[in-house]
Chains A and B, each alone.
Chain A
């Protein structure tokens, strides 16, 4: 009897089951464990206290990103707590034999930017990190998800995790994205439709011709924000785009071994007729450049639209949330999105700080000037991205336009380092969360694509990039 058709997720899951005792979740083997300074110190301390070993330091890689200032280096870290946390990571990595891309490393950068560019991230792997945006790596057809610090310690000690099998959700996006609409707009559009808990308990597989047409960097942007829809993970089937991206990367297999690996990766794509628990379909042609207006990524509107009126919302919980959001954001119902003025612009984060993101933003900024009263920052996702951008002269385009060209780190995505908003400041940001205070207490965040952020910087308010000249 032929085996029943399986999805991409099922194939990756089944390869990693170490044991599945009756009545228990499955014990899954973890191929790659990524570590950063914020969510690991208590886990290392737990190992030490229990006198346990770190089982697979060869499958564990650490970087410094969340707390890191983005000033020119070398710098003195003025925040004693951040300095202590970074020092703890360095000490822990030395003690447990974990490779660390520290601030002196030419490979340092945001964890979800460096692992793919180094070829550490590969199709079919299970990948975890104490960070919810680990979903990024699903762009390669890996099963990648964020975990808490207790689970970080568990993976350190056992290289495994107990996991209940999630449900599956196929999101097909068909057709071609119209000019001006990006991968960021695609995922914001999807979250706006299904809601920030629309995929809770599910692993999403993104499929359809619009997804197939995306580059690896664009696929990473889409998968990155899966968590913003509540999903456990997001995945995209490996194809020629995936294989071409990985060829020649430092930690990818080389030569003959690469060809064998590539054949295996391509076999991971879901079988025809495989079943999902849920399926949704979107038309790419309907996707416009998006701007969030509220305090949750699902509170989003097309740039041609207006701030919604909570009074017109039937659902009490939605209405109440929208009222609270508009009060925090200091916006009036009915106001055109284009009329929202910004004082800050942030181009960066694990969502949108890769080379293509910077190239597209630079194409908008070329020959323009940042508007008076606006402070705009460009923070490359890694040292490698920064070098590649400088080779292409992007730093000069940004600097000449009045943008700050900074050193890699999480920067203003989460305000754990000196890059923060002041209370009341409004920011066009290419990051992933517009939660209250996310970029600094009292700060107001609008999530947009790199193009939209660059255009807002030059205009001083949101503009439709489709009309940008």
Chain B
């Protein structure tokens, strides 16, 4: 997985709560056996609207998406994280996330940042933000805002670890568990 350390980018704001993964990537794009090229399906039904954020000139090239609460709820489809990444998004900032989506982001080097609703609301109008994982901060025009992140996930993201290799270091313990439980 591609490591995540620090990202400075233009911002794309999606002021909508409970954006489910069916909206992020609709069903017709799930019939692939690969991971590539899903960016074309990102917000497929909403982007037909010329006024939708993806179509706005000031959002072009943005790598940071700021969104409303419970972003990525619903279906477990990892295609949602793959589509965001393929489109160029490397960090999503929201007050809360669907659990499975949050996890899927972390497995793909896409940094999900949880911040209080008022802070997120303010960031929606930012043009440019810096997300720094080592210091766990988001910085716009004002003071850096600190976000929480599980220490283990943080380390995996910083190092870009393949967590299967990491787990296989515990192969002896897994074997012992199996021995004991069969």
Residues on A close to B: CB < 8 A?
18-19, 23-25, 27, 29, 38-39, 41-42, 45, 50, 52, 66-67, 79, 81-82, 84-85, 88, 130-132, 146-151, 153-154, 157-160, 162, 164, 196-197, 200-201, 227, 230, 232, 296, 317, 320-321, 324, 414-416, 433, 435-438, 441
Taking the closest CB of chain B, its distance from the CB of A182, in whole angstroms, is: 23
Partner of A200, one of B74, B98, B150: B98
Task: Report yes or no: A23 in contact with B151, Cβ–Cβ below 8 A.
Answer: yes
Taking the closest CB of chain B, its distance from the CB of A402, in whole angstroms, is: 28
Task: Report yes or no: B107 in contact with A151, Cβ–Cβ below 8 A.
Answer: yes
List B125-182 residues whose CB lies under 8 Å from chain A: 150-152, 163-164, 167-168, 170, 173-174, 177-178, 181
Additional 10 contacts, C-beta under 8 A, given A148-B78, A160-B170: A41-B32, A84-B31, A131-B76, A148-B81, A150-B107, A153-B164, A197-B69, A197-B70, A324-B16, A437-B22
Number of residues on chain B facing chain A (CB within 8 A): 47
Task: Report yes or no: B18 in contact with A414, Cβ–Cβ below 8 A.
Answer: no
Task: Report yes or no: B78 in contact with A149, Cβ–Cβ below 8 A.
Answer: yes
28 contacts between A and B (CB under 8 A): A27-B173, A29-B177, A38-B31, A41-B34, A42-B78, A52-B164, A131-B76, A132-B100, A146-B76, A148-B77, A148-B103, A157-B164, A157-B168, A158-B164, A158-B168, A197-B69, A317-B69, A320-B17, A321-B16, A321-B17, A416-B30, A433-B74, A435-B22, A435-B74, A436-B23, A437-B23, A438-B22, A438-B27
Taking the closest CB of chain B, its distance from the CB of A234, in whole angstroms, is: 13
CA distance A197 to B30 in the complex (A): 25
Give how many A-B residue pairs fall within 8 Å (CB-CB).
153
Taking the closest CB of chain A, its distance from the CB of B3, in whole angstroms, is: 16
CA distance A18 to B151 in the complex (A): 20
Give me the 5 closest cross-chain CB pairs, A-B, nearest first. Answer: A148-B78, A41-B33, A150-B107, A81-B31, A148-B104
List the B side residues contacting A436 at CB < 8 Å.
22-23, 45
CA distance A437 to B23 in the complex (A): 8
Q: Is B91 at the interface (CB under 8 A from chain A)?
A: no
CA distance A201 to B104 in the complex (A): 15
CA distance A149 to B177 in the complex (A): 25
Q: Is B75 at the interface (CB under 8 A from chain A)?
A: yes
Task: Report yes or no: A197 in contact with B18, Cβ–Cβ below 8 A.
Answer: yes
CA distance A321 to B37 in the complex (A): 30
List B1-23 residues whose CB lies under 8 Å from chain A: 16-18, 20, 22-23
Q: Is B96 at the interface (CB under 8 A from chain A)?
A: yes
Partner of B164, one of A41, A45, A50, A149: A50
List the B side residues contacting A324 at CB < 8 Å.
16
Given A148-B107, A150-B108, verify A130-B76 contact (CB < 8 Å): yes
Task: Report yes or no: B167 in contact with A162, Cβ–Cβ below 8 A.
Answer: yes
Task: Report yes or no: B152 in contact with A29, Cβ–Cβ below 8 A.
Answer: no
CA distance A390 to B5 in the complex (A): 59
Taking the closest CB of chain B, its distance from the CB of A240, in whole angstroms, is: 26
CA distance A19 to B96 in the complex (A): 29
Task: Report yes or no: B167 in contact with A67, Cβ–Cβ below 8 A.
Answer: no
Q: Is B99 at the interface (CB under 8 A from chain A)?
A: yes
List the A side residues contacting B151 at CB < 8 Å.
23
Q: Which residue of A lies closest to B117 (CB)?
A: A317
List the A side residues contacting B96 at CB < 8 Å.
197, 200
List the A side residues contacting B81 at CB < 8 Å.
148
Q: Which residue of B lies closest to A164 (CB)?
A: B150
Partner of B31, one of A79, A150, A158, A317: A79
Partner of B174, one of A130, A160, A201, A414: A160
Taking the closest CB of chain B, its distance from the CB of A419, in whole angstroms, is: 12
Q: 1/0 per position for B96-119, CB-CB distance to A under 8 A? A: 101110011001100000000000
Q: Which residue of A lies closest to B45 (CB)?
A: A437
CA distance A469 to B26 in the complex (A): 40
Task: Report yes or no: B181 in contact with A435, Cβ–Cβ below 8 A.
Answer: no
Taking the closest CB of chain B, its distance from the CB of A50, in whole angstroms, is: 7
List B78-92 residues whose CB lies under 8 Å from chain A: 78, 81
Task: Report yes or no: A42 in contact with B35, Cβ–Cβ below 8 A.
Answer: yes
CA distance A79 to B75 in the complex (A): 22
Given A39-B78, A151-B103, verify A416-B20 contact (CB < 8 Å): no
List the A side residues contacting B17 at CB < 8 Å.
317, 320-321
CA distance A436 to B68 in the complex (A): 17
Taking the closest CB of chain B, its distance from the CB of A345, in whole angstroms, is: 20
Task: Report yes or no: A42 in contact with B26, Cβ–Cβ below 8 A.
Answer: no
List the A side residues contacting B123 at CB < 8 Å.
none
Partner of A441, one of B26, B31, B69: B26
CA distance A402 to B45 in the complex (A): 33
Task: Report yes or no: A39 in contact with B167, Cβ–Cβ below 8 A.
Answer: no
Task: Report yes or no: A38 in contact with B16, Cβ–Cβ below 8 A.
Answer: no
List the A side residues contacting B78 at CB < 8 Å.
39, 42, 130, 148-150
Task: Report yes or no: A85 in contact with B100, Cβ–Cβ below 8 A.
Answer: no
List the B side residues contacting A437 at CB < 8 Å.
22-23, 26-27, 45
Task: Report yes or no: B100 in contact with A148, Cβ–Cβ below 8 A.
Answer: yes
Task: Report yes or no: A23 in contact with B152, Cβ–Cβ below 8 A.
Answer: yes
List the B side residues contacting A151 at CB < 8 Å.
103, 107
Q: Is B65 at the interface (CB under 8 A from chain A)?
A: no
Q: Is B66 at the interface (CB under 8 A from chain A)?
A: no
Most buried by A among B45, B69, B76, B103: B76
Given A150-B107, A196-B70, verify A18-B170 contact (CB < 8 Å): yes
